[in-house]
Amino acid sequence: RTTEPVPPPVEAAAAHRPQMVDATAAGQAYTALATVEELLKDWHEGGPGVLRAGGLSVRDLKRTAVALDVPEPVAAFWVELAYAAGLLASDGEADERYAA
């Protein structure tokens, strides 16, 4: 192989109107809010238990994925996002459970 002194030019795969980009972004933001809202409603009363290590059990993750109608890795993303945003936390009881 020979090395090239200059990288090849980068070209746009497609051009989109700014209005279309804004509409798509707004739709995705709405979907994100609706998904997190559904998660919080599902866990509002009697959310899943907190494991000793502080995590969520596989069974509860599967149940949440079914409730949100998404694959398990996507459900894990939404749970972690809500937790990082401070929307979910341990309820602090002796038998700890996640609560909105």
The per-residue pLDDT for 7 is: 84
pLDDT grade, residue 38 (50/70/90)?
very high
Cβ atoms of 60 and 72 closer than 8 Å: no
Q: Give backbone dihedrals phi and psi of 97, rounded to 5 degrees, phi first.
A: -140, 155
Three-state SS string over 28-89 comes to: HHHHHHHHHHHHHHHHCCCCCECCCCCCCCHHHHHHHHHHHCCCHHHHHHHHHHHHHCCCCE
The per-residue pLDDT for 8 is: 83
pTM of the model: 0.75
Give per-residue pLDDT as tens, 54-79: 788 899 889 989 999 999 999 999 99
The per-residue pLDDT for 48 is: 79
